[in-house]
Chain A
Amino acid sequence: MTRIADTFTQLRARGEVGLIPFITAGDPDIETTFALVHEMARQGADIIELGVPFSDPMADGPTLQRAAERALQHGTSLAHVFELVRRLRRSLTIPILLFGYYNPIWRYGGERFAADARQAGVDGVLCVDLPPEEAEELKRETDRHDLDMIFLLAPTSSLDRAQRVLTRARGFIYYVAVTGVTGVRTTLPADLSDMVRRIRAISPVPVGVGFGISSSEHVVQVAGIADAAIVGSAISQVIEQSLGQPDLVPRVGALVAELKTALRSIAAAARNDTGTASSPRP
């Protein structure tokens, strides 16, 4: 069993919903990313999603575009990201998932990518622009090196298509909460819970929900319907607002702690309500 699957098993045993914070590696520099990963793990993150910066992030809104630009200003590459993960692994066991676009991976070489990622201590990879139709080649390599390739489903995916994507799922399935790009939103779609329930009912793997999840309220909303909440732009916004300030890392830590506390309070309430220790699964 991979570290990601293991984490979800433990979360379920505790009746908790996972928190997956996202930051872009190298934003604003690799040393800060190193400190941020440690801090987020300490404050209750369950899985870390590390963005591999790309010059043309077509599924990202302005916040994550700027995060990638900052990381690319000093040339953050896949090789740097692997080096970072190697260093993190000396003291951290939290699962690490790389999130990015296909071209840097393709240029690095799929086979070499999977081997180096595994060797560095990466647990999974999510390529936003690599739908299952195009993923076979890379997935052969990630499977061979026991990395979880995470696929996405979106509000536009039909149930029929979801079923086909789910047969290839490993680790968890990433449900895109909004029809749109990444970015902070004030409200989530009204039909989010119906959509997630439909997918969760047929999914052999846990379901994480991301894109637009921006606040404790959103995280709590997700907690009622999914196995994990993924928060990206809201965290990058804090990084951006704290650039050059000494308390950048603790400020991000405080946000992660706030989100995790919200999730834990839901779990506690559920335990008191039902007397059981598992979140409801359909």
Chain B
Amino acid sequence: MPKLPDKYGHFGLYGGRYVAETLMPALLELEEVYRQCRTDSTFKRDLRALQREYIGRPTPLTFAARLTEQLGGAKVYLKREDLCHTGAHKINNTIGQALLAKRMGKERLIAETGAGQHGVATATVAALLGFSCEVFMGREDTVRQAPNVFRMRLLGATLREVVSGSQTLKDAMNEALRDWITHVAHTFYVIGTVAGPHPYPMLVRDFQSVIGRETKKQIVQHEGRLPDYLIACVGGGSNAMGLFAPFLSETAVHMVAVEAGGIGAGRNAASMSNGYAGVLHGSKTYVLQDETGQIAATHSLAPGLDYPGVGPELSYWSDRQRLRCVTVQDAQAVEGMRLLAETEGIIPALESAHAVAYAATLAPQLPATAIVVINVSGRGDKDLQSVASFLGENAL
């Protein structure tokens, strides 16, 4: 298997550093510092200590007995990233990046956020390690994820409401990049997913790969063998790459990337299923866009998936058919949320509920000997309000 990315940050056709010159030196410096830290025993020890003592790793790999029984097919396991401190996998990455920021002597962290989980995770590590923190969030998302807005403020972060464009994750990332261009000397941009310019897709994947490494060990303890299917939702793709990366060379393990089907054609956020190769936010990857290269408006009930791009490495593996892309629509995702809540007592985030919903269609088609792992990337408390209004009168 090729070592990815190459030294220019390319994953085959994808990836790279499509940014304004002002940022190039900062990206080159970050890459250099990261390469040193990767093999530095102090850095690795600090990271491992925080993963164990602060995030609460390893997270369990839970056998979903009642869900398995109800679906009547493959055995279903849940990787419990919802049990990470702050309630989602995002903190695996923010801890790593904050340690890099410390190394580089930066004083201020900035972040973009959609669902608010990455914003909360960044505000959290800023408080823990003593940075000032500003989080960019589209106005539409501040409304539909109000609890996370309050959490960020409580953690001492400043919230920067973004009113440009579609007022969602894409626009929050534009604004964060503009802020970084302006304050690059003392500011570290904590990108929340495996997208953006090199080296971000690489380092976010590496920090999130703890999910897949643990899963590999845990499933062997449970079952004595590797799983047949890994299922993860994909917006930018950080929980998916984190789960998939350690399994890429295990060709018997199938990987399914579940994209947001929204409410159907023209109103979704499924970049790999419906997009074309393009350049957005610093990397070449699949992008939802029109025929003249303007970035499309997206829709998903799950703000964390409501993004027109995807990590370049996912585009690469998708082209090579190492992973399969499927879509799940808003209503199915809500059903997925309900299903996991009622059978296992776990309320997943709307994003993760997309993966649950796809597993619910896949598992019954598989024999009872098959093993499926769903990445429950986050908990759903943040979504209760928007799910209630989605369901309307039929709420419960």
Pair B24/A157 contact, Cβ less than 8 Å: yes
Q: Tell whether A107 is near chain B: CB-to-CB under 8 Å.
A: yes
Q: Tell whether A156 is near chain B: CB-to-CB under 8 Å.
A: yes
Most buried by A among B178, B276, B277, B281: B178
Within 1-60 of B, Cβ neighbours of A (below 8 Å) are at 8, 16-26
Chain A 124-148: CB-based contact to B (< 8 A → 1; otherwise 0): 0000111101100000000000000
Q: Tell whether B70 is near chain A: CB-to-CB under 8 Å.
A: no
Residues of A within 8 A of B279 (CB): 101-103, 106, 129
Residues of B within 8 A of A161 (CB): 24-25
Chain A 156-196: CB-based contact to B (< 8 A → 1; otherwise 0): 11100100010000000000100111000000000000000
Pair A59/B294 contact, Cβ less than 8 Å: no
By DSSP majority rule, is chain A's interface helix, strand, loop, or mixed? loop
Q: Tell whether B282 is near chain A: CB-to-CB under 8 Å.
A: yes
Chain A 40-79: CB-based contact to B (< 8 A → 1; otherwise 0): 0000000000000011111111100100000010010111
Q: Tell whether B223 is near chain A: CB-to-CB under 8 Å.
A: no
With A107-B276, A129-B282: A59-B289 Cβ-Cβ less than 8 Å: no
Residues of B within 8 A of A156 (CB): 21-26, 184-185
Chain A: CB-nearest residue to B22: A154
How many interface residues does B have (CB within 8 Å)?
38
Q: Tell whether B295 is near chain A: CB-to-CB under 8 Å.
A: yes
Residues of B within 8 A of A103 (CB): 278-280, 287, 289, 293, 295
Pair B178/A58 contact, Cβ less than 8 Å: yes
Chain B: CB-nearest residue to A53: B294
Instruction: Determine the distance from Cα of A161 to Cα of B22 in the docked complex, in whole angstroms.
Output: 12
Q: Tell whether A224 is near chain B: CB-to-CB under 8 Å.
A: no
Q: Tell whether A152 is near chain B: CB-to-CB under 8 Å.
A: yes
Pair B19/A131 contact, Cβ less than 8 Å: yes
Pair A133/B8 contact, Cβ less than 8 Å: yes
Pair B20/A58 contact, Cβ less than 8 Å: yes
Residues of A within 8 A of B293 (CB): 54, 78, 103-108
Pair A131/B164 contact, Cβ less than 8 Å: no
Q: Tell whether A155 is near chain B: CB-to-CB under 8 Å.
A: yes
With A58-B281, A106-B278, A106-B279: A180-B24 Cβ-Cβ less than 8 Å: no
Pair B291/A180 contact, Cβ less than 8 Å: no
How many interface residues does A have (CB within 8 Å)?
43
With A65-B164, A103-B293, A181-B181: A128-B24 Cβ-Cβ less than 8 Å: no
Instruction: Determine the distance from Cα of A151 to Cα of B280 in the docked complex, in whole angstroms.
Output: 19
Most buried by B among A54, A61, A156: A156
Chain B: CB-nearest residue to A174: B21
Q: Tell whether B75 is near chain A: CB-to-CB under 8 Å.
A: no
Most buried by A among B16, B26, B294: B294
Pair A56/B17 contact, Cβ less than 8 Å: no
Pair A107/B291 contact, Cβ less than 8 Å: yes
Instruction: Determine the distance from Cα of A153 to Cα of B20 in the docked complex, in whole angstroms.
Output: 9
With A55-B295, A129-B20: A180-B182 Cβ-Cβ less than 8 Å: yes
Chain A: CB-nearest residue to B295: A55
Instruction: Determine the distance from Cα of A101 to Cα of B284 in the docked complex, in whole angstroms.
Output: 13
Chain A: CB-nearest residue to B282: A129
Q: Tell whether B272 is near chain A: CB-to-CB under 8 Å.
A: no
Instruction: Determine the distance from Cα of A78 to Cα of B294 in the docked complex, in whole angstroms.
Output: 11
Instruction: Determine the distance from Cα of A71 to Cα of B79 in the docked complex, in whole angstroms.
Output: 47
Residues of B within 8 A of A62 (CB): 164
Residues in chain B within 8 A of chain A (CB atoms): 8, 16-26, 164-165, 170-171, 174, 177-178, 181-182, 184-185, 276-282, 284, 287, 289, 291-295
Which 4 pairs across A and B sit closest by C-beta, in order of nearness? A107-B293, A104-B293, A77-B292, A180-B182
List 11 A-B pairs, Cβ < 8 Å.
Answer: A104-B293, A129-B18, A131-B17, A133-B24, A153-B21, A154-B24, A156-B21, A156-B22, A156-B23, A156-B25, A156-B26
